[in-house]
Structure 1
Amino acid sequence: MRNFCKECGKAVSETMRFCKHCGTEITRNVPKNEAPLQKTETHAENNKNNTQNQIQTRKTNKGKKVLSKKQKIMTGLFGLLLLGGLGFVIWGNYYYSEANTVKRFRDAFVEGEAGTLQKMVTVQGNTISKEEAEAITHLLTEDDDYDFEFIKDKNPEKLFEELPVFKVAASNKKALLFFDQYEIEAEPQYVSIYSDVQGVETTFNEKEFPMLEEARSYTEYGPLAPGVYEAKSAYQTDFGKVDNRKTVVLLSSENEYESEVEVSEVTLSVSKLYELPYDSIQFMINEEKVDIDMEDDDVTVGPLPLDGSMELTGVAKTGWGEVNIGPIALTESYQDVEMDLLNDQLKEAMSQLILSFSEDYVEALAQQDASAIENISGALQETLDYDLFSYTDGNGFSGSLDEVGISFTDMIEVEDNVYEIPVQIKMTGTYDKDGDPEEIKKDAVFQLQYNKNNGEWNVFYFNESYYTTGSNLEFYEVSGEEHQGVTADDSDEEADSEEEELAEIEVLVENYVYDLVDAINAGDYSLVEGNIAPGSDFDTMQKDLVARLYDAGLTQEVLSAAVVDMTEIDSGEWEVTTNETIVLNYSSGETETEDYQWVYTIELTEDGYKITNLE
């Protein structure tokens, strides 16, 4: 059975896999039944037509080269690149054009895009900083009075009319290595910051800019881009850093502003209220120690900030404890500093001394005897005996002490370490045994002496006939004890009583102490010889002492002298013990303070009591 190609209808052998006439694959599955004749003829006709078409196709293909798949892809890519490159050139020429550069600058300015402005704006050919770009954006937000037309009209070109510190200019750099481009040139800004002190440093928007010139009264900075800056001026002092911030607008080439940093040297005028003594004193400004020479009337410190942040304090060490001074806010270039060393502790010590004296004083008025007043010198007791009782009729005061007012604010220094204080003594009573009690006010004055060596106070002087009342009396409570006054008695007129004798001896010794110092300082023995028994060994010894110490250039000063004991060892002979504090001033300039305890021998002579020996 013969086989035929289904495509071209020509006979093929059974062993062929492809038709040798048309190349069609031969199907081996041949139906058992023979196909109808009409179908065979139609099929043969189709095969004939197909064969002719294939022959024609082969002829055509012989004249045209077929592209591979890779070649087709490459061809497509090339076309796309060509179109993309053309579009890129068109975009670049537009984007970097002068007109679009102006528009981009305007848009970035209005929208406050500091990053874009930083890339576009230059000052003297250099790209501006982030801080400068932010300053440009602040031109729109600093003041409501800014009303730029180029924003309303959306006309970028008007920007340069309203802000002539900016202009567009061709850049000498290529954009993307290919395109000509433009940039916004900003007029360089220079600003002088004036200050009262040299050394004030200023930053703008927290950035340091070049310092062109530093003069005594100003510092010039620049160049900066135009804009609105926060200028922070700072000055470093020995006591801390002070700064001031202010908004500055830079829209002209030269700008001037005051730093307004409140810094200045401060002159301290230090004075002591009451001139009270102290051992040492340390001043501090904000806990930083400051050395101040108290011998100078005015002391200059600083420079310091005068914004109230600096406070002057001090600690004075005194015999009655530490006294705090201040705090005093330093806000002026001239500052008065008053040292008030009269603290509560000192007031307590002084007031107790005055109150104790006042209680004894009323007792003395009642007894008509100054010896009732304790803890005073014999010399003061003798003075009080004369002052208080010379003009009385001998009748004592009957009544009580009501209260005592002390005016510390009127205290003054009358001599070294001696302070006078007005006091008012209020009593109720009478000097007439048959009279009715009445209120009595006595304006008196106390003089209190301070002993630097032991830190104690004593009554140096008292006068009950003071001419004025203290301006600010502080009243203190007292015991209110009732006293019964003595009456006049002829027996009181007996002379040479033991009390008078003791007072005379005590005055003699105290006068000797002070007179001896005067004699040594003056080189004049006559100033003291009246207290010494003439012709005695003690007389010769003291005459030699005065001459020797004067020649050595030694001077002395009595700080205190008090009789502490008196003992009669024989009729008309006494031993008197004293405690003395003497300052020794050597010719070398060295000074010493010495405490002495002496035992004097006092004998009654034809000229009265005299000193005959000293141990």
Structure 2
Amino acid sequence: MKFCNQCGKEIKENAKFCRNCGQQFDKTVVKVANKQPDRTVSQRKRLTFKERPLKQRIRFSVLVSIGIILIISYFTLSYLWSADRLTKQLQTAIVEGDYLKIAEMIEFNNGNQAIGEENAQVLLKTINDGDLLEELLTHFNLQVDKRTSSTHDILNLKQTSYFLGFRRFKIIAEPYYISVRTNLNNTQISHMGQQGITIESNDVIKKIGPFVYGEHNFSATYENEYVSLELSEYLYLSYSPRELDFYFDVATIWVPEGVTLNNSKVLLNGNETDEEIIIGESSIGPIDPELDYKVEIITTFPWGELSTGETDVLHDAQDNYFHYQLSEIMIDDLLGNLTSFYDQLFSAYRKNDLSQLSFLESDFYSDLEYTIDDLHHSINNEELIYFQDLTSFGISDDFLHVYYDEDTGFYNVIVNVIEEAAEEYQWYSDYLKDPYYDADYYQYHFAYQNDQWNVLYRTNDYRYDDERSNYRSLDYSGDSIQLGTVKERVESSQDENELIASVTVNYIDYMVEAINAGDYSLVEPYIKSGSLLEDMQIGLVERLVEAGTTQEVIYREVIDIEQDGDQWFAYTDETIKINFESGDQESRDYNWKYTVVKDGNNFKLTNIERE
């Protein structure tokens, strides 16, 4: 027999290596026949036998441990991920009223966001009040078994992963959102007593959520140094429209048109307010209507600041109690622009050329262009003598209206203007009567363009009888306008018929002036004292003044003169416009027969008859 000299194992006679330890053989093979191995060989053999089981035991232990872990994990995951476990936990939490546990278990379907304690309370109440637990559990089982593809409005089971043949589930809630609006800036919105969000502006709609299906309590609170307000609303969230409007019924200070809250400081009782107390573009508040307030608005415009001044708030009459006050600098700028406008306007009248007035609003420009051109046409045909003069003008400091023109992108202002002026039309005559100066009242519209004011147009101002108006006036140094040929009046060398025609025309013109001014003395020089006509016309002036009626001469002409002894009869063709106090107007045509007599060196009228 042969034995391996390395491990002592018996080997074949012609083996080239030991099958037990791998030792290769050459001449070192020990051959022993029918002989037991000596002690040395046996000892080595025993030592080698002890090392082999240790390695095998280690390998076996590792494999066994892995197997045990896999088995434990299998059953653990099977338990933890099972839908049955989740539904039983939810059932227990609902039965026990444990909304904290419900808040931990359920997430919203649109992410990994937990529903939170407030939503958990709503969910618990909704399920209990509607006796919906059994319905939900049945729905969960259908979803696990894949026997339904529909979703429940309240809760659903959702598979989140698949591992080693197991499906993992979680309970999800359908998310619901609401749109919230309020009429007050910086309103605090709370849900189930817990403060949620702030709505900074009353002109925005804020979307809040998510919330669970069911009845929710929302509240809105607002507070400033004058008031503390709160509103509450219950809203049942489902698939119906979900909107909340928190409208606080509050007292406010109304801001009239022409005063803007944009780019403004608002001082209430001397204290500057912030955006919390501004409501939109036309109100300041909310305020306590039982308190007294003084308000001042200071607004920054492209030309500088304007203030309304501090004014008492009139709670019962908030229609016209404060407005911007003109600053001294602004008044000077506007008066300077008006001076330039009058210079350009008078030049246009003289030359029949409006090229310097191209900055005017188109309709106003067209009206002036037509008026001036028609005027020059009549003058060129020797039908008219025209006179216009301006002695002074002023701006009222008690009224200023400011507005922004979105079409042009410029700020415009409206101010009240008074003009001490005269304008006379003398038709079909070579003579011009003495001009009558009176106050004219207008509202001028200005635009602030390229760092300067420009007149846009003007309209009549009917506040001329307002005694509160106070005007800052300026003398106008420009020359008057006189167009047409005027002959020098030399009565001593004139023909009698011409003098009779002249006195008759003057009587017509000044009678109208006397009626309009309520002053008979204006026409008195043309009527013989003590005559029937004097009594008639004194009474006429008084009656028309009392009735508020005024007149305007449209046309008058002496068409014939007849002499009858020491008196003459002047026949006229007249058109007079009547302006009634109601605002109605009417033009009337007349044919009169006037009786004229010589009174010293002058001709005067004594009677009038309808022809």
Same fold (TM over 0.5): no
State which structure, 1 or 2, has the greater radius of gyration over its C-alpha atoms. Answer: 1
